[in-house]
Chains A and B, each alone.
Chain A
Amino acid sequence: MPTLQPIVAPRDDVSLAARSSRWGERTIVSLLWFAAAVSIVTTIAIVVVLLEEGLRFFAEVPLLDFLTDTAWRPFGDVESDAFRAGVLPLVSGTLLVTVIALIVAVPLGLGSAAYLSEYASARVRGIVKPALEVLAGIPTVVLGYFALTLVTPALRAVFSPERISIFNAASAGLVVGVMIVPTIASLSEDALSAVPDGLRAASYGMGATRSETIRRVLFPAALSGIVSAIILAMGRAIGETMIVAIAAGNLPTLTANPGAQIQTMTGYIVQAVGGEAPRGSLTFDSIFAVGIVLFLMTLGLNLIANRVVRRFREAYE
Chain B
Amino acid sequence: MSALSSPAGVVRGAVLDLTAPAARLRRERVFQGLLLTATLLALLVMVTLLTDVLTDGLRRIDTGFFTDYTSRRPEDTGVRNGLTGSLSLMVLVAAMAFPLGVGAGVYLEVFAPDNRFTRLMQTNIANLAGVPSVVYGLLASAVFVYLLELGRSLISGALALTLLILPVIIVATRESVRAVPPSIFNGALALGATPWQATSRQVLPVAMPGILTGTILALSRAVGETAPILVAGAVFSRRADNEPWNLLEPFGALPVQVYDFIKRPQPEFQIEVAAAGIIVMLVVLLTMNSGAIILRNRYARRR
**A239 contacts B221, CB within 8 Å?**
no
- Please tell me if the beta carbons of A288 and B132 are within 8 angstroms of each other in the complex: no
From B107, B108, B134, A29 is in contact (CB under 8 Å) with: B107
The answer to whether A145 and B278 touch (CB under 8 A), given A35-B99, A298-B130, A298-B132, is yes
**Is B283 located at the chain interface by the 8 A CB criterion?**
no
- List the A side residues contacting B37 at CB < 8 Å: 111
**B residues in contact with A116, CB < 8 Å:** 39
Q: By the criterion of a CB under 8 Å from any partner CB, how many residues of chain A are at the interface?
A: 87
Provide the main secondary structure of the chain A interface.
helix
Contact A39-B170, Cβ < 8 Å, known A31-B103, A149-B271, A298-B131: yes
In the assembled complex, which residues on chain A have CB atoms less than 8 Å from the CB atom of B221?
A: 137
A306 at the binding interface (Cβ < 8 Å): yes
Are B127 and A25 in contact, CB atoms less than 8 angstroms apart?
Answer: no
Alpha-carbon gap, A232 to B166, bound state (A): 19
Does A42 contact B52, Cβ atoms closer than 8 Å? no
Q: Does A146 contact B (CB under 8 A)?
A: yes
Binds B, one of A83-91, A127-135, A156-164: A127-135
Count of chain B residues with a beta carbon within 8 Å of a chain A beta carbon: 85
Which of A2-10, A196-204, A266-274 forms part of the interface with chain B?
A: A266-274
A-B contact number at CB 8 A: 248
| Residue from A50, A111, A210 having most chain B Cβ neighbours under 10 A | A111
The distance in angstroms between the C-alpha atoms of A52 and B141, with both chains bound, is 13
Contact of B48 among A18, A40, A150, A181 (CB under 8 A): A150
CA distance A239 to B137 in the complex (A): 12
Contact of A139 among B107, B163, B285 (CB under 8 A): B285
Residue of B nearest to A24 (CB): B196
- Please state if A241 and B226 are interface contacts (CB–CB under 8 Å): yes
The yes or no answer to A315 lying at the interface (CB within 8 A) is no
**Contact stretch, chosen from B2-10, B67-75, B117-125:** B117-125
> Given A211-B28, A239-B132, are A273 and B230 neighbors across the interface (CB < 8 Å)?
yes
Verify A137–B226 contact, CB threshold 8 A.
Answer: no
In Å, the complex CA distance between A140 and B221 comes to 10
* A194 interface hit (Cβ, 8 Å): no
Asked if B127 contacts A303 (CB within 8 A), the reply is yes
Contacts of B195 in A (CB 8 A): 25, 29
Contact call A46/B135, Cβ cutoff below 8 A: yes
Once the chains are docked, how many angstroms separate the CA of A160 from the CA of B59? 32
**Nearest Cβ on chain B to A30's Cβ, whole angstroms:** 10
Asked if B132 contacts A146 (CB within 8 A), the reply is no
Interface positions of B from 138 to 196, Cβ below 8 Å from A: 138-139, 141-143, 146, 163, 166-167, 170, 194-196
Could you tell me the distance in whole angstroms from the C-beta of B199 to the nearest C-beta in chain A? 9
A101 interface residue per 8 A CB criterion:
no
Inter-subunit contact B131/A39 (CB<8 Å): no
Instruction: Judge whether A32 and B107 touch: CB under 8 Å.
Output: yes
A-B contact pairs, 22 of them (CB 8 A): A28-B196, A29-B195, A32-B103, A32-B106, A109-B38, A120-B39, A128-B39, A132-B42, A142-B278, A144-B262, A146-B49, A149-B52, A181-B42, A182-B42, A210-B28, A236-B130, A239-B130, A239-B132, A246-B262, A266-B134, A269-B231, A279-B146
New A-B pairs, 6, CB < 8 Å, besides A112-B38, A138-B282: A33-B107, A36-B112, A138-B224, A178-B46, A246-B263, A270-B230
Residues of chain A touching chain B, judged by Cβ–Cβ distance below 8 Å, are 18, 22, 25, 28-29, 31-40, 42-43, 45-46, 49-50, 52-53, 107-112, 114-116, 119-120, 128, 131-132, 134-135, 137-146, 148-150, 178, 181-182, 185, 209-211, 214, 232, 235-236, 238-242, 245-246, 266, 269-270, 273-274, 279, 287-288, 291, 294-295, 298-299, 301-303, 306
